Amino acid sequence: MSTWRARIDAIDQILLVLLNERSRSANEIGHIKKQHKLPIYVPEREKTVLGNVLKNNSGPLEDEAVRRLFERIIDETRSLERRKYQNLD
């Protein structure tokens, strides 16, 4: 069991790096949106993002689980993007 747990711990460290890296990219996008006075929330783009992961999901996570996970990821990313740029000009 400890081998599998060590594997999960290692995966989690990579997940953490990638989630932060994803937020960094989203902040860059937020910055561009701000410069061009574009809205932070772009529902079509969020649908595309979800579609991209769902079409490549081969499990064992079910599509609904993947959808819930990425909805959370998108939501946290958008919140940060919004907080970071709402007061900048």
Token duo for residue 36: 């061009």
- What residue ranges bind a second copy (CB under 8 A)? 1, 4-5, 7-9, 11-16, 18-29, 32-33, 45, 49, 52-53, 56-62, 65-66, 68-70, 72-73, 76, 79-80, 84
d(CA 41, CA 56): 24
**Rounded to the nearest whole angstrom, what is the least distance from the CB of residue 14 to a second copy in the complex?**
6
If we measure between CA atoms, which residue out of 67, 86, 73, 65 comes closest to residue 23? 73
Q: How far is the CB of 88 from a second copy (least distance, A)?
A: 15
